[in-house]
Chain A
């Protein structure tokens, strides 16, 4: 079946450094991706999304890159802060109607003060 997965389960980053969280997907027909952040004890929070007609999208301190050739996307966080510590999920709405969203396995980001 189709799946969305992550390369690194845990990432430790020094405060102030940039973080890069990676995600691989297998469905070449996927045309929309979302990144969510889940802090301990909370529900996931939307961070940024990207459609397949784009290679890059920037938000506040975050950038998502999409490489359709190798079916890979990444989330870059600039100047990582302690408040960025969380589990990050890439998520893939089904291209048939976008109601069914499949989450990747998640990467835990630990920010070292």
Chain B
């Protein structure tokens, strides 16, 4: 199994809603990542978890809250988002947190209304 699975694939939420994005991998990878990608732009790193501990937070607003319940799961909790937060949210994993050969999920297309 070389897949990173993200759910849901699409999400529309209001600015007062609370929702969560989920990511799962069963490759035994010990590093997991959240990226944000706007249309026609490159992915931008948001968070890195290494061995289930948050190792990098790229100054992401607190309305985005990551969680790593175990080495296979990564969540991104969303609260009070703004329309400009609409984007493709990509999860990735890599074997050892070195940023090498990251495997990406298909992403969650988020629209904030």
On whether the beta carbons of A41 and B42 are closer than 8 Å, the reply is: no
| Neighbouring B residues of A105 by C-beta, 8 Å | 41-42
B41 CB contacts on chain A under 8 angstroms? 105-106
Asked whether A101 is an interface residue with its Cβ less than 8 Å from the other chain, the reply is yes
Task: Please name all residues of chain B whose beta carbon is closer than 8 Å to the beta carbon of A43 when the two chains form the complex.
Answer: 4, 90, 92, 104-107
Q: Do A34 and B100 form a contact, CB below 8 Å, given A42-B106, A43-B92?
A: yes
Do the beta carbons of A49 and B42 come within 8 Å of each other?
A: no
9 closest A-B pairs by beta carbon, nearest first, are A43-B104, A103-B42, A93-B99, A98-B99, A98-B98, A101-B99, A99-B48, A44-B104, A46-B101
A89 on interface, CB distance cutoff 8 Å? yes
Q: Within the complex, what minimum Cβ distance (angstroms) separates B89 from chain A? A: 10
Count residues of chain B with CB under 8 A from any CB of chain A.
26
Whole-angstrom CA separation of A43 from B90 in the bound complex: 7
> B42 touching A93 by the CB < 8 A rule?
no
B105 touches A100 (CB 8 A): no
Chain A residues 71-113 with CB under 8 Å of chain B are 89, 93-94, 97-106
Known: A89-B42, A101-B45. A49 touches B101 (CB 8 A): yes
Which positions 17-50 of chain B face chain A at CB distance < 8 Å? 31, 40-45, 48, 50
